[in-house]
Every structure is written in structure tokens, then in C-alpha cells.
Amino acid sequence: KSGSHVHYLFSDEVEARLRDLSERIRGNPSLAGFDERWLSIKLLERDYEVQKITGITLDYDFSVEIAETRYKYIKRILSTSVKGKEKIGWNFSEAIDHVMTHRFLGILIFLAVMYIIFQLTFTISWPLSIMIEELLGVFGRAVGGFIGVDWLRSLVVEGIVGGVGAVLVFVPNIFILFLALGILEETGYLPRAAFVIDRPMYAMKLSGRSFISMLLGFGCNVSSIMSTRSISEPKERIVTILVSPFISCSARLPVYVLIAGTFFGARAGVVIFFLYVLSIVITMLSALLINKLFFKGEPSTLIMELPRYRKPRLSSIILYTWNKGRHFLEKAGTIILGASIVIWFLSYFPSEGTGSFAAMIGKSLEPLFIPLGYTWEMITSLVFGIAAKEVIVSSLTTFSGNLSVSGSSLGAIRTLITPEVALSFLVFVLLYVPCMPTLAVIKNETGSYKYVFFSVFYSLAVAYIVALIVRIVGGLL
């Protein structure tokens, strides 16, 4: 309500807009008891509650300029009434931030940090993954020796142990990735990454606040979409929800490691880094395209307090890593186990190999994927991967076994595709239809199936086009 308070004198542009808004508010009898200037200021700050009260929504945002004016006013008052030691130079945190949050160096540092993380994720975990794979192979052969019925032995060894085991092999990669992200969050770097990316995000009609939600997508797209509730601007929130599935979640990582490790050897870390950078680029370009076509207006402004740098606590990092990584283990024991049994059934009946139901599914779609060079095994694994992206690994290894290809699961997959097709396949896995839980969350958060259908068809189109470009360019190199 109206009362005595301090009037700040803003810039000429802000004051002109305040006068225009005050006249509009003055003409509304239902707002007679409110202070016109205060409501006008809150509207320029895009306050959601005031927008509801007044029924006025603006496409521009002056919240940063208004905040700066207030801070200048406070500083002027303090300079005349409070005395203290004069601050000389920067403290440690400010000195580091001068580099970390630099408009150009900050982005290069962010890319370098992500590159190091993915190189370490691959190189450190690879020996552990090989060891787990060998142990699972020994376990599968031991269990199979006790089962006399052929179809039951195949179900247990190839379907359950082979299917679930193909995913469990990549547990070290998942936990090392979350360990690295936990260290970045604990030290206080991740908020600075959001601050650095805010400028290029703004050019794509999104804010750093959207990027904070997208960062969660590196763990799980479901968490990323649910976190968009903190975005006050409705249009920006919808766009963030629609593009978040392009952020490469941890469920895709096993596919990357398996294929990249098989086809690109020592350069696998570079390939995985390329996929994560590509996911960010496609996300930002998609946001720009969707905003241009369907939504207008400016994104909200990111205002956040950067925490001080701090020494990471081992207990906090371990807890963070376990809480994030155990979700992967839970899926292996539920969704992936069930999917592995279904995949085995479809690949074993009515006859193994090319006579199976799985082959029928893949071959029926094969004409659509001729330009990409995908085999029916790859196509069918993509269909099953809609349930959960980890299932793609289980599918490929199961189908390879049914083809009686000699060697390990990695060697079996290598006989099916060439390097440029492998890279194209990884790009398709990165960009195509979100998993079922993600689609369900999109429906819950938007309240409409139209956004679910848009996400499905748009992601398929983007995946096909980009994967085709990668395949063509790769074939020319």
C-alpha cells in the first residue's frame, strides 16, 4: 500500500517508462489503493506477483539497472555516515574471479575444465570397466554351466547377465563423472560457469538461470526439467524445458564410452568431449530457433550472488557422488533388467538372428535409415533406447551375441559399422527422442501433450539431419 518511502531517481529511459506505467495503473480502479510508482518499478523488474495483480506483462527487463541504482544510493549513504578501513586491492576470491568470470577467458576455461573432466572420465575408468567386464564374463560362464536347458541358459547368460552387465561395465565412468562435477560444485565453480555462459545464452534468448537448469541435465534430464520451476518467465521456462533433453545425460555416457572406445581408441576422450560440446551448441541453437518461431520477448536477467571459493570437503563430495550415481544402479536393477529380458525374448523368438522379432522391427524401419548406414541391430537398439538410453548398450551386445560374432561385445559391435557411421550413430543417440521418464516430466511440467509431441518430432528431425551431416563429412575426411 502507499506510504512514505524513498524515491530513487533512475535513468531517463527508466523514468519515462515508469511514468507510462503509472498512467496505466492510475486508470485501473482496482489498483487505487496501491502506490503507482512502486507497482511500476516491480513491473519493470518483471515481478510475477505484481504482473498477476495488475494484469500487465512487459517484454523488457530493467531489473539490473534498477538494482544498480539502489546499490549506488546505498553506497552514497554509507560513504557519508560510515567509516572503515580503506580496501586496497583484491582478495583471493576476487582475484581468481577476475579471470574465471572474464567474458572471453571464462568461456575458454569452462571448455578446458569440461575437456579435462571427460578425458579423465574415460582414461581413469577404462581399466576398471575392462576388469568388471571380465568378471561378469567369468560369472556368466559359471552360471551357464549349471543350466542344461538351452533357451534358459541363453536367457540368463545373454539376456540377464549380458544385458545388465553390459551397462554395469560403465559404473566407473558414471561415478567418476559425478565425482568431478561434485568437486566443481563444492569449490564454488559451477555458479561461475552459469555467470560466464549467461552472455551467450542471452543472445539465444535464454538466461544463465536456464543454464543452471541445463547443468543438472548432465546428470539427468528429468532433474533438469523439474528445476525449471525456478525460472519466473513462463516463455523462457517452456523453451528451457523443450531444449533440455538435448543436454547429454549420464544415461548416454555408456553408449559413448562403448562406441568411442571401440572405434577411436586413444581419441575416445576427444570424441566424448565433442559430443558434450555439440549437445550445448544444439541446445542453444534450438532455443534461438524456438524463440524466433514461437515466442517473442527478452529473457529474464540473471542476478546471483557468487559464493566464495572453498576447499572441497571429502564427505560432501562422496555423498554427492553416491546420491547421483546410485540412480544409475537403481535403473540397472529395475528398468534395464526388465528391458534386457524383453530384448532377449524379441531377439530369440521365433528364431535367433535375422528371423527374430527384433530383426523384424529393425528391418521394417531400415529403409528410413539407409542414408545413415545403420543396420537393423542399431535401429532396433534405438527403438528400445526410448525406454532408457542405457538399454542401447544392452541391445547392441545382445544382438551381437545372436549374430554369433566372435570376440568380446566391443569387437562384435565393431564388425557391424564403420568409424564415420559410428560417430553418426553417437550423434543420433545424443539428439534423438528423450527417454520415457523425460517425456512424462515434460507433460507434467507443461500440462500439455502438444509439447511432448513437439519434443519427439523435433528431436527426431534434428538428430537425423545432424547425424547425416556427420556421416557425410566423416566419409569425405
- Per residue in 146-171, pLDDT (tens digit) is 888 888 888 888 778 877 877 788 88
Instruction: Compute the average pLDDT of residues 65-81.
Output: 81
Q: How many CB atoms lie within 10 A of CB 339?
A: 22
Identify the band that residue 304 occupies on the pLDDT scale cut at 50, 70 and 90.
low
Specify the pLDDT at position 404.
33
- Which segments of 227-334 does DSSP mark as H helices, in order? 234-243, 253-264, 268-294, 314-333
Instruction: State the helix-helix crossing angle for 419-431 and 268-294, rounded to 10 degrees.
Output: 40
Residue 344 has pLDDT above 90, yes or no: no
Residue 353 has pLDDT above 90, yes or no: no
Residue 121 has pLDDT above 90, yes or no: no
Residue 452 has pLDDT above 80, yes or no: yes
Place of cell 519466473: 232
CATH architecture of the domain formed by 12-81: Orthogonal Bundle (1.10)
Return the half-sphere exposure (C-beta side, CA atoms, 13 A cut-off) of residue 3: 2
Return the half-sphere exposure (C-beta side, CA atoms, 13 A cut-off) of residue 443: 11
Identify the band that residue 329 occupies on the pLDDT scale cut at 50, 70 and 90.
confident
Nearest to 340 by CA among 163, 468, 206, 464: 163
3-state SS, residue 351:
coil
Place of cell 542471452: 202
Residue 448 has pLDDT above 80, yes or no: yes
Numbered ranges of CATH 1.10.287.1770 in the chain: 12-81
What distance in Å separates the CA atoms of residue 354 and residue 360, rounded to the nearest whole number?
8
DSSP, residue by residue, 65-131: HHHHHHHHHHHHHHHHH---PPP-S--HHHHHHHHHT-TTHHHHHHHHHHHHHHHHHHHHHHHHHHH
With vertex at residue 430, the alpha carbon angle to CA 425 and CA 432, rounded to the nearest 5 degrees, is 85
Instruction: Compute the average pLDDT of residues 46-69.
Output: 80
Q: How far is CA 353 from CA 346, 358, 362, 377, 399, in A?
A: 10, 8, 12, 10, 7
3-state SS, residue 9:
coil
Of all residues in the chain, the percent with pLDDT exceeding 90 is: 23
Q: At residue 407, what are phi and psi to the nearest 5 degrees?
A: 95, -175
Q: Is 197 exposed, middle or buried (0-12, 13-18, 19+ CB in 10 A)?
A: buried
Instruction: State the helix-helix crossing angle for 314-333 and 171-187, rounded to 10 degrees.
Output: 150
Nearest to 456 by CA among 439, 441, 440: 439
3-state SS, residue 313:
coil
pTM above 0.85, yes or no: no
What distance in Å separates the CA atoms of residue 126 and residue 139, rounded to the nearest whole number?
20
Residue 250 has pLDDT above 70, yes or no: yes
Asked if 467 and 454 count as a contact pair (C-beta separation under 8 A), the reply is no
Identify the band that residue 302 occupies on the pLDDT scale cut at 50, 70 and 90.
low
Specify the pLDDT at position 7.
62
pLDDT, the chain, mean: 83
Residue 87 has pLDDT above 70, yes or no: no
Q: Is 193 exposed, middle or buried (0-12, 13-18, 19+ CB in 10 A)?
A: buried
Place of cell 549467461: 198
What distance in Å separates the CA atoms of residue 284 and residue 202, rounded to the nearest whole number?
10
Residue 74 has pLDDT above 70, yes or no: yes
3-state SS, residue 61:
coil
